[in-house]
Structures are given as C-alpha cells and as structure tokens.
C-alpha cells in the first residue's frame, strides 16, 4: 500500500505533467528525487528547475 | 504488521525478570500505581522499536534509554538489561524472535535473519506510535491547533509532506532572488549599452541607426535587421588592431558614473534605515534576538541533519526522525523571528540590486582607468568593487546584516574618500586627449558596442533562464500545495468520520448524535466536537475529563486505522482509559472488540475493577490478563496468581525476609479470594466501595466450595456414580482438613486480617502459616492444568464445577426423579 507521501508525490507529478509548464525531463528528475530521497533539499530542486529544457545531445 | 506472542523481560526499568505469554490476543495488565505495568509497556516498546517513548518525549530532558532504561541496580551493567520478544508477523505468517539489549538498542538480534523479516521489523521500528500513553492523549485533544497539527502530522508521518512543501517554497524564494539579481544585471548591461550608443531606448531601430551611422562612415554594409546573431562590428577587417579606447564613449561612461555618484550617499537609504531599525529591535529584545539566532542556527542545523547525531551539538538521538521533529518544533516556535528574518532579507535584496547597478557603472570606468595608466584609481576601484561584492554576500544573510548594522547607518556604499577626485582627474585626462579621427572613433564605437551588446544578451539569456526556472518552481509549488491540501482534506474527513463513529459507540447512551469536525488550514488543525447538539466547541470546553480521555483514544484509533488500514494489528494502551467512567466501559470494550477484532491491544490499568469489566465484556480472558499486586525494588512487579508464588515466598523466608514473604502471601490470598469468590459465585457481603478484605472474602469462599463439593457428591450419587461420589467426598475431606489446619493457625489467621502484624513474626512462626494456606488453596486447583476451579454458568444456578482443561468437571445437577402419572386413555 503506498504511503500518503507516495500518493501525494504521484498526484503531484501527474498534475505537473498536465499543466504543461514543466517539461517531461524535469518531471522525470523530480520523480527520481522524490522517490529516492524523502528529504529533498532546496538546492536539489533548484538544480532541476534551473536546468534548460530538453536533454543534452547524445 | 505484528502480534506479540511472548515477552521475556530482564533488568529493564522496574522489572527484574518477567515472562508473559500474550498469546497474540488482546491482553490486560492491571495493578496499583507503581506496580510495574508501564515498565512492561516500556520493555515491549523497546523490544520492538529500540526506543522508550517515556524517556524521549517532551519534558524528559536529561533522560535516556542508555542511562535510565536498565533496572536501577543494573545501570552500570546495561548488558544485563534486555528484552526478548516472540513476534508473529501477520503478513509473512512467520514467528520471529527479537532480542534487544539496552546497551545496543540499534543492534537487535533477530532470528530468522530473512530479508522480508528484517524489512517488516524495520517498518515496526519506524512506528513508535504503536504505544499510546495517557500523556500522549493530551497531544491530540488539549493542545493549540498548531501543535495538534504538528502532532497528528507526525503520527501519520505527514511531516515529510509538510517538509517537501516547505522545501519547494524555499526553492521558489531562492529562484526569485536569483531572478532579481539576473534582472539587475540586465538593467546594468542595458544601461551600459544605451550609454555607449547614446540612445534613449533599446529598440532595434534606435540601435541600428546609431550603429549604421558609424558603419556608413567606415564603408561597411548597413545592417538591415537586428537578429540574435547580428554582429554590430561585422566587416571590420582586423579587429585586433583597432584600439579599444573610444574617447566619446569613455566620456559618456565617466559622465554616467559621475551623474549616478551624486545619488550615491542616499542610495537605498530607506531600505538601509529599515534594516538598521529591525536590527535595533533585535538588540533591544534579547529574547527575539535569541529566537532569531536559534532560528537561523536551527535552520542551518536542520539542513545539515544526516543521521541521528545532531550536527549542532553532537547529541545522539534515538533516530533521525526524532531529531528532525525536535528541530522543526523549535523552528515553529520562532515564527515572529521568521517574519523579521524575511523582512530583513527582502530589504537586503533591494540593496543588492543597487549594488549590481553601481558595479555596472564602475566596471567600464575601472577598465578605462587601467587603460589610461592611472596609478591609484584602478586600485581604488578594484578595492571598492571587491568591498561591495562582499557586502552583497553579507546582505543575503541575517548574520551578515547584523555585522553591517553600523555601516548601514553611516553610508553602506562605502564610497572611498578619493573617489570623486580621482573620477574628476580621470575625466579631465580623457577630455584632454586629442579627439580621435572619425575612422578610429567609428571603429572603436562598433567594437565597444558589440562587446556591450554581447554582455547585454548574455544577461538577458540568464535572466530568461532564471525566469523559466522560477515559473517552473512556482508551478511545482502550487501543484504540490493543491494536491497536498486535497489529500489531507480527504484524510481528515476519513479520520473525522471514524473518530465520531468510535466516540458514538462509547457514548451511545447520551451522545448518540455526536459529531466532530477537523478543520485543517495552513499549519493548523482545528478540532471541534458537538456538545449535546448545542453546537461545536473545542474538546476541553464542556466535556468532562473522562470524555476527553475517550476522545483521545478514539482519535488515536481513527488515526491508526487511517495510517495502517487492515494492518493495524498491534497497539499498546498504557493507562489511557483510566478516566472512562464505569457506565461507558462496556461500550469501550465493545468498540475494541467490534471495530478492531484483529488488533491485539495490550492494555494497562491501575483500576482492578476495570480489568474485571474487560473480562466480563469478553474483551480478555483470565489467560489473557495479568495482575500485579505490588512492586519491590528487589523483585520487580509482584504478580498475582503467580504459579511460582510459593517458591518466591520460600526464597524470601530462606533469606530471613519475613516481611517480603508476608506481603507476597497477603497479596496472593487477597487475589485468590477475590478471584475464587467471583469464579465460584460465593456469597460475599456487598461493599459499595468494592474494598474487600481477606476476612470478607475467604470464609464465604470456603463455605461455597464445601457447598459445591457437597452438591457434586449428591449429584454423583443421584446418577449412581459411587466412584465419583467417593472421590468428591475425598476432596471435601481434604478441604475440611486444610481448613482445620488453617484453624490451628487461627491465631495467625485472625491477625492476617491486620496484615502488618505478620511482619513482626520470625521465620519459624511464619512457615506453618504458609504451609497451611498452601495446602488450603491446593483444594481449589486442578492437579492437571493447575488452574482455579470455576462454576458454569457463571451466573444463576450452578450446573458444573470445572477447570479450563476439563480434567475436573463435576456435575452439580442431580438426577431428577419423576413419577409418571398415567392419564386415562380416551
């Protein structure tokens, strides 16, 4: 059974994906951050939000 | 989750050595205050979680499991203090053994060491809220809304959610400051570019007009359109050979700085004064200053927490969660300080923006002064720029602002004394230079314009990126708040519904329409309850203490149900029901039985009658209950109905401790008499205070047993079972003999009513007394299962005298001899 924290994280990411203001790559990074680290720090979020949209050339 | 099978407790808290068979059932431990009940709860909690809530909660400063967990005589030998629990893991269908020593609370020995077992036990250890004490109830009911919100969020593990929200908020504040700085850099670079181009706006047409004029002079192609790739100096054959100095541009830079310098003494003076005033308030109010210092300090500490050791004072906590909760609670207390901190940082940010603008004006003049070979001015500007750069860093923290207080009131910009004169000298030097040829002027104009356009574009790019980052952070924060509020509202609705239902079950006689309302808002949780349909009020407003206790338990149960759902299989209720009045106790038992049939509650109460009521309500049985009659530092809890009682008494006598043996016998006889009076249905003179002494109980019990054995013998005879009749007669004779022996000791027994006199006897006086009562009580015990006899049914005319194992099952119903009457045939 997912915890309330997990439920909120899932719905948060879905809502973010639906609002169209955040690109998919950032949402994926947020998913990893929230699932791996219950105590994410502000600098972790700043790093994700300040990353230019899209992905690096492969 | 779990159910508890057995516990072995050794040298923990007030317990020396104790084994309890919990049988995975609801279980009650009763005993007077100070008899060691809570010690059992502490030990179980320790065995499961490695913590003892009583030693780690609020108001327990100076207490610790390491120092105060062992029995007081074993403080120096904590290795001897341990708990061994046999635990059943319901979802894994496995029994495991946890052995945890006080000396190594984080390193329990677990058998078997399977991954799934370890994961399941880790989950249990992460839930200290399985133990509820009466003190905890106050955390839910009689606290201010902010504290209640905090407590309930902690128990539901919601503090992590609140922290994520708070971190997202911090993130957007930080990105807002970054954007402000980036915008200030854009303004600064725009001003530099416009000053150079001598245009009022940075419209494409204005820029191209200024640039194309110089390009035409140099015979370069006109730039028709400004694009992102446009190079204003495109086409210059060898930019490297072109001098950087452009006299007219240099004079404009000098002029711009000179003009701005006139306003330097009053620059952001309002903000500086406001900061100084707030800093003055802090100096005048030491408590506010302390709160602010703590706030900043704790905020830093909270950020650095990584494990159970406090990064601020190196104190080792039970776990990281406790440490975080402690620091977060301290942060909340300094709310006023937080507001002040925010105001200080906002004003500091405003001054920082001015610093960016000033730096933008100083940069080209600094470069110019170096190019012109000035001796001191470049050094002066270099130091000044470094100084205000450092100032900018200090403006970003409260600690930094406090250092700046004097400077903020005496000219924060720190204009060097020689600045004006040096600026004037440099301006005169530049003015004195011969005018450049039109070609050189046009070339240097274009190269400088391109450089400044590049700076401006870069600043714009950074600003746009900062804006995107901020908007993303805002969108994330808003989305998280909406989702969190929706989920929490739904959660509190569930909790509110369950709570009301549970409370109605307990109070169905007088509050069958009871409702409650939990209203969450920013950082608060208001809690109102209906008082006899007269409206909603805080729980402490009109309800009695007993009702409030009931509410506390109901809210706890509702929260646990929400937290664990069907996995809520275990809870320790330590004296939490003491104020539930007699009229509602059966209903309370009904609540636990009907709403939580699969939950093992281990309940302690100091009220013996309460424990008996739990049995009557079939919440527990004799096998799933334990009574302590006292406690001694050498023995720990003294257990009633202790099968080893005679050994204990003999051991005490062997040590010459007659008073200990006497007290043990006294309590045992009290317990047994009370128990047998109930189990055998003895006729005891009623006492309204329920305070029956041995003399009130033992004689009726003896009389009742003789009566029952006589009835059983008569019944056996009526059924023609002479063998059984003789056997019962033998029992009756044994009882009479034992009673006779007891009568021999009558002089002692009489004094037994005034128990304290026993303590004055010597060992040889007392041993016959012990032997007499031991022999007497043996007549009431099944030799096979060693349990006390009881009658069935428990109320009304008895039909059988039995023991639990049915080895003894004496029919009390004589054969009814009827005379048939023949009716005439019709």
Best B123, B157, B161 member to test A by mutation, with max A CBs in 10 Å, is: B161
Out of B472, B486, B487, name the one closest to residue A26 (CB). Answer: B472
Contact predicate B487/A8, CB 8 Å: yes
pLDDT over threshold 90, residue A55: no
Q: Would you give the end-to-end CA distance of chain A in angstroms?
A: 38
| Partner-chain contact A41 B487, CB within 8 Å | no
So what's the pLDDT on residue B825? 46
Taking an 8 Å cut-off on Cβ atoms, the answer to whether A3 and B157 are in contact is: yes
Question: Looking at residues B454-468, what average pLDDT do you find?
Answer: 93
Phi/psi at B30 (nearest 5 deg)?
-115, 160
A28-37, B32-41, B144-153, B447-456: range with lowest mean pLDDT:
B144-153
Distance CA B480, CA B474 (A): 10
A41: chain B residues, CB-CB within 8 Å? 167, 303
Mean predicted confidence (pLDDT) in B245-250: 86
SS3 letters for B202-266?
A: CCHHHHHHHHHHHHHHCCCCCCCCCCCCCCCCCCCCCHHHCCCCCHHHHHHHHHHHHHHHCCHHH
Q: What is the dihedral of CA B313, B317, B321, B327, to 10 degrees?
A: -30
As a whole number, mean pLDDT of residues B632-658 equals 80
Least confident of B351-355, B376-380, B822-826: B822-826
Q: What's the gap between Cα B9 and its chain centre?
A: 26
Q: With contacts defined as CB-CB under 8 Å, which chain B residues touch A26?
A: 472
Q: Residue B487 and residue A4: Cβ atoms within 8 Å?
A: yes
Q: What distance in Å separates residue A11's CA from the closest CA in chain B?
A: 7
- Residue B823 has what pLDDT? 52
Q: Do B483 and A26 touch (CB under 8 A)?
A: no
Handedness of CA B128, B131, B136, B137 (dihedral sign): positive
Confidence of residue B826 (pLDDT cuts 50, 70, 90): very low
Is some CB atom of chain A closer than 8 A to the CB atom of B315? Answer: no
B93 vs B57 pLDDT, higher one: B93
pLDDT tens, B769-796? 888 888 889 899 888 877 788 898 877 8
Smallest Cα distance from A20 to chain B, Å: 10
The proportion of chain B whose per-residue pLDDT surpasses 70, expressed as a percent, equals 91
Does the pLDDT value for residue B468 go beyond 70?
yes
Average pLDDT, chain A: 83
Per DSSP, B822 falls in state: P
Q: For residue A49, give the nearest of B175, B482, B484 by CB distance.
A: B175
Lookup: tokens for B89: 């893991």
Non-local (6+) Cβ contacts of B31 within 8 A are B37, B604, B606, B608, B627, B628, B629, B630, B631, B637
Among chain B residues, the shortest Cα distance to A33 is held by: B164
Chain B CB within 8 Å of residue A19 CB: yes
For residue B127 the two structure tokens come to 């839930």
Residues B329-350: pLDDT tens digits? 777 766 677 788 888 988 998 8
Residues of chain B contacting A27 with CB distance shorter than 8 Å: none
The answer on pLDDT for B453 being more than 90 is yes
B239 touches chain A (CB under 8 A): no
Which chain B residues are closer than 8 Å to A12 by Cβ? 476, 479-480, 483-484
The whole-angstrom distance between B274's CA and the closest CA on chain A is: 28
Q: Is the pLDDT of residue A8 over 70?
A: yes
User: Cβ contact (<8 Å) for B171 and A49?
Assistant: yes
Do B34 and B606 touch, CB atoms closer than 8 A? no
- Nearest-by-CA chain B residue for A14: B479
Chain A residues within an 8 Å CB radius of B325: none
pLDDT in tens, B548-588: 878 888 888 998 888 888 889 999 998 887 767 777 888 99
Cα distance between residue B145 and residue B787, in whole Å: 52
Contact B484 A1 (CB under 8 A): no
The angle formed by the CA atoms of residues B796, B798 and B802, to the nearest 5 degrees, is 135
Q: Look at residues B561, B756, B773 and name the one whose alpha carbon lies nearest to residue B646.
A: B773
Is the pLDDT score of B442 beyond 70? yes
Residue, of B264 and B297, whose pLDDT is higher: B264
Residue B491, chain A, CB below 8 Å: the answer is yes
Q: Is B167 on the interface with A (CB under 8 A)?
A: yes
- Tell me whether B171 touches chain A (CB under 8 Å): yes
Determine the pLDDT at residue B357. 86
Instruction: Answer yes or no: is pLDDT of B53 > 80.
Output: no
Quick check: ipTM above 0.85?
Answer: yes
d(CA B403, CA B415): 18
Of B163, B170, B466, which is closest to A39 when you measure between CB atoms? B163
Could you report the per-residue pLDDT of B405-426, keeping only the tens digit for each? 888 888 899 999 999 999 999 9
Q: Which residues in chain B touch residue A38, judged by CB atoms under 8 angstroms apart?
A: 160
Question: What number is the average pLDDT over the span B16-41?
Answer: 91
Residues B629-648, buried b or exposed e (16+ Cβ, 10 A)?
bbbbeebbbbbbbbeebbeb
- Is any Cβ of chain B less than 8 angstroms from the Cβ of A27? no
More confident residue, B227 or B631: B227
**Does the beta carbon of A35 lie under 8 angstroms from any beta carbon of chain B?**
no
The nearest alpha carbon in chain A to B168 belongs to A42
Touching check for A47 and chain B: CB below 8 Å? no
Contact status of A49 with chain B (Cβ, < 8 Å): yes
State how far the Cα of B70 lies from the Cα of B67, in Å rounded to an integer.
7
Q: Is B807 on the interface with A (CB under 8 A)?
A: no
Mean pLDDT across B253-274: 92
Banded model confidence at residue B40, pLDDT cuts 50, 70, 90: very high
Which residues are bridge partners to B576 per DSSP?
A: none
Q: Does the structure show a pLDDT above 80 at B690? A: no
Q: Do B175 and A1 touch (CB under 8 A)?
A: no
pLDDT band at B494 (very low <50, low <70, confident <90, very high): confident
Does residue B749 have a pLDDT over 60? no
Question: Pick from B469, B483, B567: which is nearest to A15 by CB?
Answer: B483
Residues of B in contact with A50 (CB under 8 A): 175, 178, 465-466, 469
Do the Cβ atoms of B680 and B697 come closer than 8 Å? no
Least reliable range by pLDDT among B70-74, B186-190, B313-317, B408-412: B313-317
**Among B109-123, B137-151, B614-628, where is mean pLDDT lowest?**
B137-151
Query: Does the structure show a pLDDT above 70 at B57?
Result: no
Name which of B95-104, B284-293, B509-518, B596-605 the model is least confident about: B284-293
Average pLDDT over residues B175-185: 87
> Which pLDDT score, from 0 to 100, does residue B524 have?
67
Quick one: pLDDT at residue B753?
45
- Cβ-defined contact of A1 to B471 (cutoff 8 Å): no
According to the model, what pLDDT value does residue A57 have?
59
Q: Compute the distance between CA of residue B89 and CA of residue B161 in angstroms, rounded to an integer.
A: 28
Give the confidence band of B288 by pLDDT, cuts at 50, 70, 90. confident
Which residues does chain A have within 8 Å of residue B163's beta carbon, measured at their own beta carbons? 39
Please tell me the distance from the alpha carbon of residue B408 to that of residue B394, in angstroms, as a whole number: 12
Q: What is the mean pLDDT of chain B?
A: 84
The C-alpha of B476 sits at a distance from chain A's nearest C-alpha, in angstroms, of 7
Residue B610 has pLDDT above 80, yes or no: yes
Structural contact between residues B309 and B327, judged by C-beta atoms closer than 8 angstroms? no
- The enclosing H or E element of B6 equals strand B2-12
CB contact under 8 A, A49 and B469: yes
pLDDT tens per residue, range B524-549: 677 888 888 888 888 878 888 778 87
Which of B164, B169, B179, B304 would best serve as a mutation to test chain A binding (most A beta carbons within 10 A)? B164
The alpha-carbon radius of gyration of chain A (Å, integer) is 12
- C-alpha distance from residue B100 to each of B63, B108, B123, B508 (Å): 19, 4, 16, 43
């Amino acid at each position: 059974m997912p915890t309330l924290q997990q439920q909120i994280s899932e719905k948060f990411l879905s809502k973010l994906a639906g609002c169209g203001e955040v690109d998919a790559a950032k949402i994926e990074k947020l998913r990893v951050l929230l699932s791996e680290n219950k105590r994410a720090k502000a600098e972790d979020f700043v790093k994700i939000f300040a990353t230019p949209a899209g992905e690096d050339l492969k | 989750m779990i159910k508890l099978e057995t516990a072995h407790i050794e040298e923990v808290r007030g317990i020396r050595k104790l084994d309890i068979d919990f049988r995975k059932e609801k279980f009650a431990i009763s005993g007077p205050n100070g008899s060691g009940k809570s010690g059992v709860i502490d030990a179980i909690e320790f065995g499961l979680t490695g913590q003892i809530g009583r030693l780690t909660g609020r108001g327990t400063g100076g207490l610790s499991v390491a120092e105060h967990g062992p029995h007081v005589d074993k403080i120096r030998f904590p290795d001897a203090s341990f708990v061994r629990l046999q635990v059943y893991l319901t979802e894994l269908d496995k029994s495991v053994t946890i052995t945890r020593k006080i000396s190594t609370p984080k390193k329990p020995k677990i058998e078997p060491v399977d991954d799934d077992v370890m994961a399941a036990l880790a989950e249990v250890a992460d839930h200290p809220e399985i133990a509820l004490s009466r003190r905890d109830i106050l955390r839910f009911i009689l606290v201010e809304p902010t504290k209640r919100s905090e407590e309930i969020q902690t128990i539901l593990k919601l503090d992590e959610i609140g922290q994520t929200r708070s971190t997202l908020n911090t993130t957007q504040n930080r990105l807002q400051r970054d954007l402000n700085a980036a915008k200030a850099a854009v303004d600064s670079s725009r001003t530099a570019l416009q000053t150079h181009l001598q245009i009022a706006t940075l419209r494409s047409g204005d820029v191209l007009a200024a640039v194309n004029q110089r390009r035409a002079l140099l015979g370069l192609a006109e730039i028709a359109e400004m694009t992102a790739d446009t190079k204003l100096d495109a086409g210059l054959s060898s930019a490297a050979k072109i001098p950087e100095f452009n006299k007219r541009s240099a004079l404009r830079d000098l002029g711009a700085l000179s003009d701005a310098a006139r306003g330097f003494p009053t620059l952001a003076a309002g903000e500086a004064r406001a900061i100084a005033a707030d800093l003055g308030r802090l100096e005048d109010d030491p408590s506010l200053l302390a709160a602010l210092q703590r706030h900043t300090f704790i905020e830093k500490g909270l950020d650095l927490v990584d494990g159970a050791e406090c990064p601020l004072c190196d104190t080792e906590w039970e776990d990281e969660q406790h440490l975080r909760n402690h620091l977060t609670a301290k942060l909340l207390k300094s709310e006023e300080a937080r507001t002040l901190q925010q105001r200080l940082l906002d004003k500091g940010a405003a001054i920082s923006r001015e610093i960016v603008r000033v730096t933008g004006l100083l940069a080209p003049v600094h470069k110019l002064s170096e190019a012109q070979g000035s001796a001191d001015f470049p050094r002066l500007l270099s130091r000044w720029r470094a100084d205000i750069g450092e100032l900018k860093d200090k403006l970003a923290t409260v600690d930094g602002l406090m250092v700046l207080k004097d400077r903020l009131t005496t000219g924060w910009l720190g204009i060097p004394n020689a600045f004006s004169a040096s600026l004037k000298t440099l301006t005169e030097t530049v003015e004195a230079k011969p005018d450049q040829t039109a070609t050189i002027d046009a070339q240097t104009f274009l190269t400088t314009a391109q450089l400044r356009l590049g700076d401006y574009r870069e600043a714009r790019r950074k600003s746009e990126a900062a804006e995107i980052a901020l908007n993303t952070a805002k969108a994330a924060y808003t989305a998280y708040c909406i989702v969190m509020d929706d989920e929490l509202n739904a959660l509190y609705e569930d909790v509110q519904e369950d709570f009301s239902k549970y409370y109605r079950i307990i109070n169905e006689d007088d509050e069958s329409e009871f409702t409650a309302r939990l209203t969450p808002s920013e950082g608060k949780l208001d809690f109102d309850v209906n008082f006899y349909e007269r409206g909603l009020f805080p729980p402490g407003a009109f309800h009695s203490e007993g009702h409030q206790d009931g509410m506390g338990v109901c809210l706890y149960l509702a929260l646990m149900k929400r937290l664990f759902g069907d996995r809520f299989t275990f809870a320790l209720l330590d004296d939490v029901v003491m104020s539930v009045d007699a009229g509602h106790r059966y209903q309370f038992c009904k609540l636990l039985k009907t709403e939580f049939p699969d939950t093992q509650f281990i309940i302690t109460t100091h009220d013996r009658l309460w424990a008996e009521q739990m049995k009557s309500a079939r919440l527990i049985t004799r096998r799933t209950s334990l009574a302590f009659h006292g406690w001694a530092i050498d023995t720990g809890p003294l257990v009633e109905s202790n099968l080893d009682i005679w050994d204990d008494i003999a051991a005490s006598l062997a040590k010459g401790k007659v008073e200990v043996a006497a007290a043990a016998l006294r309590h045992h006889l009290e317990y047994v008499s009370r128990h047998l009076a109930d189990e055998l249905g003895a006729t005891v003179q009623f006492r309204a205070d329920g305070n029956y002494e041995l003399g009130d109980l033992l004689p009726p019990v003896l009389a009742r047993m003789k009566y029952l054995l006589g009835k059983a013998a008569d019944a056996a005879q009526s059924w023609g079972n002479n063998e059984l009749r003789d056997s019962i007669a033998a029992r009756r004779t044994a009882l009479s003999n034992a009673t006779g022996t007891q009568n021999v000791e009558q002089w002692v027994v009489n004094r037994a009513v005034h128990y304290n006199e026993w303590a004055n006897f010597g060992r040889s006086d007392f041993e016959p007394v012990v032997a007499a009562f031991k022999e007497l009580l043996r007549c009431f015990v099944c030799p096979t299962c060693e349990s006390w006899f009881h009658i069935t049914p428990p109320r009304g005319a008895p039909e059988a005298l039995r023991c639990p194992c049915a080895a003894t099952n004496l029919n009390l119903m004589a054969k009814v001899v009827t005379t048939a009457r023949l009716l005439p045939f019709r």
